[in-house]
């Protein structure tokens, strides 16, 4: 096995590949290879700077660390959508191609059977299979969704180079069997993704919390009380002077106090 070498890792995967028949799968594979070759060539990355592994519905590219990451990321953001539109406008409905992609960096070794080994490569594969990237492509009308690793973001994207707007990338957390992975998704966050940033958390505050903040419950008044102190009834608030005649014939002599303290008088 070769010594681990620093590489740029590019993964591209076809959405719903297994739902197609053999003829359609063969066509989609040819389209994927053609798109990948043209995108890398547009970034100045020729065959001498890359190594490809075939994974059926996806391709994996190990790219020389000396190749320009800026040029590659620009090509992914601009050239991939152009290539997809050109291919899909000439294809039938059953042969439309939509892609998920991951761009990462790390150390990868190649064994004597051309197998690729490296924890950074494993991380990139988990980002590719993660729910945030799958959900993003599923919810979008575009045919392309891109996720980048934390190293690509910290080294390139956060500096806001021309053609790579950092505001278009959003932090995500991808669940994996080895624990949560931090990454960055290009474009809007899908609705199904749990919040990983303060802005995501604010957007997903439970509805009952918002309702409570918008419409506080009014303070309820205690029920009126009826007190008979010293023969005078008090009913919680007003004051009635003089004798009172009830509708059923009873008579209350003296003052009737509705509220506060008790008044004098007698009740019959």
Q: What does the pLDDT average to over 232-246?
A: 46
Higher pLDDT, 238 or 127: 127
Which pLDDT belongs to residue 56? 78
Rounded mean pLDDT of the chain? Answer: 80
Which pLDDT belongs to residue 101? 98
CA 47 to chain centre: 36
Nearest to 152 by CA among 144, 143, 161: 161
Confidence tier at 235 by pLDDT (50, 70, 90): very low
Rounded Cα–Cα distance for residues 89 and 213 (Å):
49
Rounded Cα–Cα distance for residues 94 and 20 (Å):
8
Q: Tell me what percent of the residues of the chain surpass a pLDDT of 90.
A: 60
pLDDT surpassing 60 at residue 175: yes
Rounded Cα–Cα distance for residues 17 and 20 (Å):
6
Which pLDDT belongs to residue 162? 95
Question: pLDDT by residue (tens digit) across 206-227?
Answer: 333 333 333 344 444 444 444 4
DSSP β-bridge partners for residue 171: 184
Higher pLDDT, 241 or 4: 4
Question: pLDDT by residue (tens digit) across 71-104?
Answer: 999 999 999 999 999 999 999 998 999 999 999 9
Higher pLDDT, 1 or 129: 129
Say if CB 164 and CB 73 are below 8 A apart. Answer: yes
Which pLDDT belongs to residue 114? 80
| Reported pTM | 0.71
Question: pLDDT by residue (tens digit) across 153-169?
Answer: 999 999 999 999 999 99
Which pLDDT belongs to residue 208? 39
Q: What does the pLDDT average to over 23-52?
A: 95
Topology (CATH) of 5-199? Alpha-Beta Plaits (3.30.70)
Confidence tier at 254 by pLDDT (50, 70, 90): low
* Enclosing H/E stretch for 134: helix 131-139
Alpha carbon distance, N-terminus to C-terminus of the chain = 109
pLDDT surpassing 50 at residue 195: yes
**Domain range list for the chain:** 5-199, 227-267
Q: What does the pLDDT average to over 54-61?
A: 88
């Amino acid at each position: 096995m070769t010594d681990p070498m620093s590489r740029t890792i590019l993964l591209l995967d076809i959405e719903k590949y297994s739902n197609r028949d053999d003829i359609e799968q063969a066509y989609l594979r040819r389209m994927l290879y053609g798109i990948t070759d043209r995108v890398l060539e547009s970034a100045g990355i020729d065959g001498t700077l890359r190594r490809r592994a075939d994974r059926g519905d996806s391709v994996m590219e190990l790219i020389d660390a000396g190749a320009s990451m800026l040029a590659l990321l620009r090509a992914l953001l601009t050239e991939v959508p152009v290539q997809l539109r050109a291919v899909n406008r000439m294809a039938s409905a059953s042969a439309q191609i939509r892609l998920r992609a991951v761009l990462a960096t790390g150390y990868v070794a190649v064994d004597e059977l051309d197998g690729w080994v490296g924890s950074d490569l494993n991380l990139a594969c988990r980002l590719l299979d993660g729910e945030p990237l799958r959900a993003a492509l599923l919810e979008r009308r575009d045919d392309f969704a891109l996720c980048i690793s934390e190293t690509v973001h910290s080294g390139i994207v956060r500096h806001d180079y021309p053609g790579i707007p950092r505001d278009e990338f959003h932090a995500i957390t991808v669940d994996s069997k080895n624990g949560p992975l931090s990454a960055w998704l290009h474009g809007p966050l899908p609705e199904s993704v749990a919040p990983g940033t303060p802005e995501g958390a604010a957007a997903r505050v439970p509805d009952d919390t918002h309702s409570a903040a918008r419409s506080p419950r009014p303070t309820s008044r205690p029920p009126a009380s009826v007190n008979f102190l010293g023969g005078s009834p008090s009913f919680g608030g007003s004051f009635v002077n003089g004798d009172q005649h009830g509708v059923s014939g009873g008579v209350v002599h003296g003052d009737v106090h509705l509220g506060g303290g008790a008044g004098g008088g007698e009740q019959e």
